[in-house]
Structure 1
Amino acid sequence: MNQVVFLVDVDNTLLDNDHIQADIKAHLERQYGAACRDRYWAILDDLFVELGYRDYLGALQRYRVEHPQDMHLLSMSSFLVDYPFANRLYPGSLDVLERLRQWGPTVLLTDGDVVFQPRKVERSGLSEAVNAHVLIYIHKELALDDVASRYPALHYVLVDDKPRILAAVKEAWGSRVTTIFPRQGQYAHDAKALASFTPDVTVDRIGDLLDCDLGRLLAAIPQLEAVRR
């Protein structure tokens, strides 16, 4: 039983996923045309509604079913798999993970498919930064029992850019979790989501956590204070 475990999201928390998406769109348009780009993205959005996460390779396969004679498109899989994810880390991301590890076990907690998301985590250097402590679910907010069984702790600190996820985990775990919201990416200014939930801590950028007094934050957690006594 750990005193505290840090759970850190990947997309738009440690990694600029909006930039990655923009690069994918630009590559599709440049290599295959605007019509291809728009159709691929429509399929990707449909899969997101169906699956709950963005299945980039699955969308490519569905597009191929619609265009079985398009051999040129096959090279798109190489672009996705070989994308330089490390170039899209937010400033300070790796330093933040290193600092969190000084306070307790630090785990990447993310959603995604079984090929592209692990590849992203590995090639970005994030997996190595947390000694391969990586959990990838379809819906992570529905897998909290599994998270707790793998990394039991008196308290959890969750860092995530999505207010919806923070709210769901807070509802499930209550005072057992401290929620930290880095205001980055497409959800940073979601007025509706932010109005319905107030995180315990809000920072403008993930790198700002380097300036946070984690000792003071942890000292204010009742469960941990009781252990110290």
Structure 2
Amino acid sequence: MTDPSIVFLLDVDDTLLDNDRFSADLAQTLVDLFGAEEQQRWADIDKGLRAQYGFADYLGILQRFRLGLENHPRILEMSDWLLSYPFNERVYPDTLKALAYLKSLGTPVVLSDGDAVFQPRKLKRARLWDVLEGRVLIYVHKETQLSQMQARYPADHYVMVDDKLRLLVAMKAELKDRLTTVFVRQGHYAADSGALLATNPPDIVIQGIGELATIDAKRFLSGRPGAT
């Protein structure tokens, strides 16, 4: 039975869909169209904008990347490549099954970092926006917006599913027993979390998003006062 007092918060990149595959496809496309040196220039612009804004600004990268390439015959194709990328083909296996299971237990909501254009577009291209009926929150730093998240989706208990362990640790520090953390060991961020995993273990660890559908509802309430 659905419990409206439970909200499941879901990261997107390398949690619901394979963003590492997208990054690899993007890098290869840049090499194919412009060469390895220009692909490295894209990467350098990306690094600089991430440091400045705190998220990947793909359209901002493209605006800067085209400087000096205005007359390249393929440069204008990159905007269409980005906006038309088939993110529906990058959704991890059993993601929809997992989301259906969470819907039977509570309210699933996307809680993601990102820009205000490309990240929503990604969710719509992946068809996850419709699956979640528009329950989407996208912030620059989601771990600093937990009060706003709670105002939008009030609940007695929250479950955060993410591949970035440092964010789970930060959210747990604020919400404490009202939050159950689920660490998904997918993607490059998860692979780099070894030391933090030993010192700040999450409540639940899964190897893939599909495993959510196999977890007993009581485990999601492990931090809830009075849970058994």
Would you say same fold, with TM above 0.5? yes
Structure 1 unaligned spans of 5+? none
Structure 2 unaligned spans of 5+? none
Identity of aligned residues (%): 43
What whole-Å deviation, never above 9, does each CA across 1:195-224 have from its counterpart, x for those lacking one? 33210000111111121112x224545346
CA contact (8 A) 2:182 2:204 kept: yes
Runs in 1 of length 4+ with deviation above 6 angstroms?
none
Aligned AA (2:30): L
Corresponding residue for residue 126 of structure 2 = 124
Aligned AA (1:93): T
Task: Please give the alpha-carbon distance, in whole angstroms, between the structure 2 residues aligned to 1:220 and 1:31.
Answer: 50
Aligned AA (1:88): R
Are residues 1:166 and 2:168 paired? yes
The alignment partner of 2:72 has SS state of coil
Task: Please give the alpha-carbon distance, in whole angstroms, between the structure 2 residues aligned to 1:156 and 1:98.
Answer: 17
The alignment partner of 2:37 has SS state of helix
Corresponding residue for residue 199 of structure 2 = 196
Cα 1:93–1:63, aligned 2, differ >3 Å: closer, same or farther?
A: same
The alignment partner of 1:5 has SS state of strand
The alignment partner of 2:5 has SS state of strand
Q: How does 1:96-135 map onto structure 2 within 5 Å?
A: 96-135=98-137
Corresponding residue for residue 72 of structure 2 = 70
Aligned AA (1:46): G
Task: Please give the alpha-carbon distance, in whole angstroms, between the structure 1 residues aligned to 2:38 and 2:80.
Answer: 17
Q: How does 1:70-89 map onto structure 2 within 5 Å?
A: 70-89=72-91
Aligned AA (2:43): W
Q: Could you state the TM-score of these two structures normalised by the residue count of structure 2? A: 0.93
Corresponding residue for residue 41 of structure 1 = 43
Task: Please give the alpha-carbon distance, in whole angstroms, between the structure 2 residues aligned to 1:107 and 1:224.
Answer: 24
Corresponding residue for residue 50 of structure 1 = 52
CA contact (8 A) 1:154 1:223 kept: no
Higher helix share: 1
Corresponding residue for residue 28 of structure 2 = 26
Cα 1:193–1:218, aligned 2, differ >3 Å: closer, same or farther?
A: closer
Task: Please give the alpha-carbon distance, in whole angstroms, between the structure 2 residues aligned to 1:43 and 1:178.
Answer: 36
CA contact (8 A) 1:8 1:160 kept: yes
